[in-house]
Structure 1
Amino acid sequence: MTATRSRWLIRRPGQAEAALRLYFFPHSGGSAGEYMRWSSQLPSAEVWGVQLPGRGGRISETAPTTMNGLVTALTAEADFGEVPYAFFGHSLGALAAYETALALRAQGRQGPHALFLSAYGAPHLHRPGPDVHMLDGPELIAAVEREYGPVPAEMHTDPEFAALVLGGLRADMSIVSSYRPRATRPEPLDCAITVYGGSEDRETAVRLAAWDDYTTGPFTLRVFAGDHFYFRGNSDDLLGQLDRALAAFTAPAAFTAPAQPA
């Protein structure tokens, strides 16, 4: 029982099938490839990536500029498979993972057994911020660095690399700017939610802890030393915690698809 490969879902070759799949949602301007490299340190799950338009193998495609556009297109094309699965999202990817889980529930489809959300406060605390996606390249990069920390050095030294990345980054920052929390908060999910963050990040532990209200299932908060990208340079602590959490879900007997709407 394998997930349907599509433009949206990519899998690192050579992995053995596992009892649980983990789908990575990348950060603003990021690609699934950065996270799929972690597969060797996550033996408890079969690692997949959610590849957004405008990056990686989809670099020539137009990237969505609203959260609704992203989630609508993703859920229309992607089949996450029949076995239990979880989502991991970092930064904007955390918000996208949550919104995708909501959309799957609304469609009466099997949703994630667990959400692992990194470096993004609960949706009702979302701060749209300025329209930085309207800035030119160097100013956009500078604005992103002020908000989230250093970008890859190639963004400053390699114009061709920067040009490839800027399209997806600009679209993602448009999503950040245009996203608005719902006037009425959705019913909580029933899956486990684990939230990760960096001790020096502007997404404080208080903002991260507010995700507790978004599930009726177990909630866990883990804060690591570091900034917004606390796992860069030393991912062992995060991946150790993540793999132990995944191992606890390898035989989720209670995992069932949501009931179809009446």
Structure 2
Amino acid sequence: MDAPATPRWTIRAPGSERSARTLYCLPHGGGSAAEYVRWARDLRRVAVCAVQLPGRGSRLEEPAPTGMDELVGTLVEELVLNPPYVLFGHSFGALVAYEFAQALRTAGRPLPERLILSSYPAPHLPRESSGLHRLPDGELLAEVARLHGGIPDEVLGNAELSRLAAHCVRADYRIVETYSWRPRPPLPVPITVLGGRDDVVSEEQLAAWCAHTTMGPIRQRTFAGGHFYFRERQRAAVLRTVEAAAC
């Protein structure tokens, strides 16, 4: 059996060790592991293991990766996964989950039982170059909040909290905005895709993930709400959907 995951990379929710399957959660842009550790109160049939990336949360003092290849390469080298497992990623985390799975296949490592990808367009679709990561801190946070929400008012209204948030958001947007998809065979992994009905990411952009699996049609579910639909009034329904997909 694989050794436990490197502690600095993961935060495993208390009491979840008894579950046979692990749900590894990759955070959204600027996010940390804390968001997903809280899910464990409602997800009883899977062990919730939140991935903590460098440059945020408990790893704030570590340098953040500057590109997708660097981030994914380090994950493959250092994050020990305990099969059977499922990868969940929201927004930026969905792109990381996909690239991580591709890199695991290349390395001959065990693949996830399923990818659960939330609120991010399929990676082969054309993208406009926004250059948000080059904006000053205040403008960066204001534009991200306008596009996606998710940044609390208490952060936007506090200089020190804004500085810390901008540091994390900038690092992840730099990765997204310098990312270039490389054509590779679809993954032999089933895919579930989730999204918010009022998000800037359209249902058509989510449906295009079907090009990246050989395991038949994707499962797609859209909930009321925006980019962070799972924080809104349908939270319980979202988590039931995540748990059912993971199991």
* TM, length-normalised to structure 2: 0.94
CA 1:194–1:76: 2 relative to 1, 3 Å:
same
**Over the residues paired in the alignment, what is the CA RMSD in angstroms?**
1.4
Compute the displacement of 1:229 (Å): 0.8
Q: Any unmatched runs of 5+ in structure 1?
A: 248-262
CA 1:91–1:231: 2 relative to 1, 3 Å:
same
Instruction: For residues 82-118 of structure 1, give each alpha carbon's deviation from its aligned partner in whole angstroms, at most 9, with x where no partner exists.
Output: x200000000000000000000000000111100000
My pick for the range that moved more, 165-174 or 141-150, is 141-150
The 5 Å alignment of 1:13-162 reads: 13-81=14-82, 83-125=83-125, 127-162=127-162
Segments ≥4 residues shifted beyond 4 Å: none
CA contact (8 A) 2:11 2:37 kept: no
CA 1:141–1:119: 2 relative to 1, 3 Å:
same
Compute the displacement of 1:13 (Å): 2.4
Compute the displacement of 1:146 (Å): 2.6
Residue 215 of structure 2: aligned partner: 217
Compute the displacement of 1:126 (Å): 5.0
My pick for the range that moved more, 8-17 or 22-31, is 8-17
Residue 198 of structure 2: aligned partner: 200
CA contact (8 A) 2:116 2:245 kept: no
Instruction: For residues 206-243 of structure 1, give each alpha carbon's deviation from its aligned partner in whole angstroms, at most 9, with x where no partner exists.
Output: 11001111111142000001111111133111101111
Compute the displacement of 1:121 (Å): 0.8
CA contact (8 A) 1:126 1:181 kept: no
**2-structure distance, mates of 1:9, 1:127:** 31
**2-structure distance, mates of 1:31, 1:181:** 25
**2-structure distance, mates of 1:164, 1:89:** 22
Q: Any unmatched runs of 5+ in structure 2?
A: none
Q: What secondary structure, in the 3-state scheme, does the structure 1 residue paired with 2:124 have?
A: helix
CA 1:119–1:126: 2 relative to 1, 3 Å:
farther
Residue 252 of structure 1: aligned partner: none
Residue 228 of structure 2: aligned partner: 229
**2-structure distance, mates of 1:126, 1:11:** 36
The reply to whether residue 189 of structure 1 matches residue 190 of structure 2 is: no
CA 1:5–1:14: 2 relative to 1, 3 Å:
farther
Residue 255 of structure 1: aligned partner: none
CA contact (8 A) 2:6 2:78 kept: no
CA contact (8 A) 2:186 2:214 kept: yes
**1-structure distance, mates of 2:19, 2:91:** 26
CA contact (8 A) 1:6 1:77 kept: no
CA contact (8 A) 2:28 2:92 kept: yes
